[in-house]
């Protein structure tokens, strides 16, 4: 019985917790943001095979590395603050077909997935293909980080990564691979998905110009923490600028010492 699956319920509880944080942080106005989490590992074989509760929906591209996988996905038009209070009224479990060409909703209510589903699934498909331990795609609209993407100077992975890292030591430790930048694309399109996937090769976090942030990872709470830390750095930078000075930032030596002290992965543009 899916209802009583303790491992799944723990995953779902973490999604509800994070959805609440996104709302409290002011990163989820209206229906902004969306979350998808692969939960295949949490389900027993009979639970994975339950009958569908929706018609089949063709996917724009075949997800050849996600055949038979099950995802919790927030619903289209749904508000994060309500995902937090009622996950099953505002999202559903979908199952990718055995040939990766379509999905069906299998639980609990027929809530249609986010408009960003094609983009989320192509990212999951890519990360599976390259063998990255990543089950979560989290997209949200943090005010401070989006503000930075309105300045062409910060629409450069090296520039923005270095500035955000240099505001507090934790930032480089928590986001060692830096952030990727995707120039503006229409939300929900495969063009946005394809540009994002290119950035995921070297980064776990991607900034969408004048739109939002996307984090990938093994755990939804960790994805939130990554964005929260980047947002903290942006706030320090913008607070200093508002106070009328340019923050000095940590030196390159101070930043490089963290790589040695914490055995961090190297940044690649
Ligand atoms: O769900 O944030 O990018 C609304 C969005 C689309
Ligand atoms: Zn968005």
161-191: pLDDT as tens digits: 999 999 999 999 999 999 999 999 999 999 9
For ion ligand 2, residues whose CB falls within 5 Å: 212
Residues 243 and 146 in one domain: yes
Same domain (yes/no): 155, 264 = yes
Which of 116, 132, 157 is the last residue before a domain boundary?
116
Ligand 1 atom closest to 140 (CA): 2
Same domain, 105 and 163: no
Distance of CA 196 to the CA centre of its chain: 11
Please state the separation of Cα 102 from the chain's center in Å: 22
Question: Could you give the CA distance from residue 78 to residue 192 in angstroms, rounded to a whole number?
Answer: 21
Residue 245 lies in a domain: yes
Domain of residue 178, residue span: 142-269
The pLDDT tens digits for 82-139 are 999 999 999 999 999 999 999 999 999 999 999 999 999 999 999 999 999 999 999 9
Residue 123 lies in a domain: no
Cβ 32 under 6 angstroms from ligand 1: yes
* Mean pLDDT computed over 215-227: 98
Tell me if 178 is assigned to some domain. Answer: yes
Q: Is residue 21 part of a domain?
A: yes
Q: Are residues 199 and 253 in the same domain?
A: yes
Is position 122 within any domain?
A: no
Q: How confident is the model at residue 240 (pLDDT cuts 50, 70, 90)?
A: very high
Ligand sitting nearest the alpha carbon of 116? 1
CA 75/CA 197 separation, integer angstroms? 22
Q: Is 34 in the pocket of ligand 1 (CB under 6 A)?
A: yes
Q: What is the pLDDT of residue 89?
A: 98
CA separation for the pair 166, 172 (Å, rounded): 8
In which band, very low, low, confident or very high, does the pLDDT at 235 lie, cut at 50, 70 and 90?
very high
Mean pLDDT, rounded, for 232-253: 98
CATH number at residue 186: 3.40.225.10
User: How many other C-beta atoms lie within 10 A of the C-beta of residue 119?
Assistant: 28
Rounded-to-integer distance, Cα 60 and Cα 210, Å? 25
Count structural domains, the chain: 2
Q: Which of 79, 114, 182, 195 to mutate to test the pocket of ligand 1 (most atoms within 8 A of CB)?
A: 114
pLDDT at 70 > cutoff 90? yes
Ligand nearest to C-alpha 74: 1
Instruction: Round to whole Å and give the CA distance between 66 and 64.
Output: 6
Question: Is there a contact between 145 and 138 (Cβ–Cβ < 8 Å)?
Answer: no
Whether 17 and 106 share a structural domain: yes
Q: Choose one of 36, 117, 139 to mutate for the ligand 1 pocket test, by most ligand atoms within 8 angstroms of C-beta.
A: 139
Residue 112 sits in the same domain as residue 146: no
Whether 257 and 146 map to the same domain: the answer is: yes
| pLDDT score for 1 | 84
Same structural domain for residues 34 and 109? yes
Q: Please report whether residue 52 resides in a domain.
A: yes
Domain boundary at 98, 116, 134, which?
A: 116
Residue 16 CA, ligand 1 centroid: distance in Å: 17
Same domain, 63 and 186: no
* Residues 6 or more apart in contact with residue 168 via CB below 8 angstroms: 229, 232, 233, 236
* pLDDT above 70: percentage of residues in the chain: 100
Give me the catalytic one of 47, 116, 185, 209: 116
């Amino acid at each position: 019985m899916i209802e009583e699956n303790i491992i799944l319920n723990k995953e779902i509880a973490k999604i509800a917790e994070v959805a609440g944080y996104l709302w409290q942080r002011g990163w989820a106005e209206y229906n902004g943001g969306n979350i998808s989490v692969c939960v295949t590992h949490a389900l027993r074989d009979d639970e994975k095979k339950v009958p569908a509760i929706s018609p089949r929906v063709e996917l724009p591209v075949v997800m050849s590395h996600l055949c038979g996988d099950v995802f919790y996905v927030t619903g289209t038009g749904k508000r994060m603050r309500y995902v937090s209070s009622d996950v099953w009224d505002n999202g559903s479990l979908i199952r990718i077909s055995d040939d990766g060409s379509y999905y069906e909703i299998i639980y609990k209510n027929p809530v249609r997935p986010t408009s960003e589903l094609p983009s989320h699934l192509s990212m999951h498909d890519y990360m599976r293909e390259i063998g990255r331990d990543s089950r979560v795609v989290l997209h949200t609209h943090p005010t401070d980080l989006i503000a930075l993407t309105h300045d062409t100077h910060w629409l450069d992975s090296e520039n923005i990564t270095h500035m955000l890292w240099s505001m507090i030591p934790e930032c480089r430790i928590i986001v060692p691979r830096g952030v990727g930048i995707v120039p503006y694309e229409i939300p929900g399109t495969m063009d946005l998905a394809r540009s994002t996937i290119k950035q995921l090769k070297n980064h776990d976090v991607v900034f969408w110009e004048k739109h939002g942030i996307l984090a990938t990872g093994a755990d939804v709470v960790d994805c939130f923490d990554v964005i929260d830390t980047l947002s903290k750095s942006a706030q320090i930078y913008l607070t200093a600028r508002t106070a009328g000075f340019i923050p000095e930032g940590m030196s390159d030596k101070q930043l490089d010492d963290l790589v040695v002290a914490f055995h961090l992965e190297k940044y690649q543009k």
